Amino acid sequence: MEAAADIALIKRQEQELVLPAFDEHVAFALGSGIYQRAVAESLSLVVDVRSWDRQMFFAATPGTTADNAEWVRRKINTVRRFQRASYRMVVERGGDAVFSDIVHAPASDYVIAGGGFPLRVRNAGIIGCLTISGLPGRSDHGVAVAALCRHLGLDERLLALPPD
């Protein structure tokens, strides 16, 4: 699929995957669902669910390292600053761009890599982030989208990016 079609679909994901509410219970449901999927499918990943003021869920499966948590931190910063999925930044910027060359932000704090997805709440806007690290960026993004679809009772096949 060409970049323009991916960007359009990611924008649609961002607009349609809106939570009716967000609290500790929602964070746990999203995070634990991703963790259970990772264990069932033997995926090595870290999952972080947070509002902008605090982390509400964090888990890591075997095969991850402290580097994954660092990637999560940098993806969160990117989502918060640009108010969009971090994978959308990848596609919009051509995939291999150096972040600091584009927006004059330090690569030590920001990254262009898939896996950070904004948590949007109806009538409140973007209030936090769901972030995955451990898989290729497009797959990290896909795990986040699938979890939000399941939580919202939506058919994830209608919003999933096609395989790379």
Identify whether 161 is part of a domain.
no
Instruction: Assess contact for 68 and 75: CB atoms under 8 A.
Output: no
Identify whether 159 is part of a domain.
no
Identify whether 158 is part of a domain.
no
Statement: the pTM of the whole predicted model exceeds 0.85: yes
Identify whether 105 is part of a domain.
yes
Domain count within the chain: 1
Identify whether 35 is part of a domain.
yes
Q: Residue 111 is encoded by which pair of tokens?
A: 């990254």
Identify whether 97 is part of a domain.
yes
CATH number at residue 129: 3.30.450.150
Q: Name the residue type at position 97.
A: A
CB half-sphere exposure, 57, CA atoms < 13 A: 23
Q: Residue 118 is encoded by which pair of tokens?
A: 């904004």
- pLDDT digits (tens), the chain, 164 positions: 589 999 999 999 999 999 999 999 999 999 999 999 999 999 999 999 999 999 999 999 999 999 999 999 999 999 999 999 999 999 998 765 556 666 677 888 988 899 999 999 999 999 999 999 999 999 999 999 999 999 999 999 999 999 87
Domain boundaries, position 136: 3-153
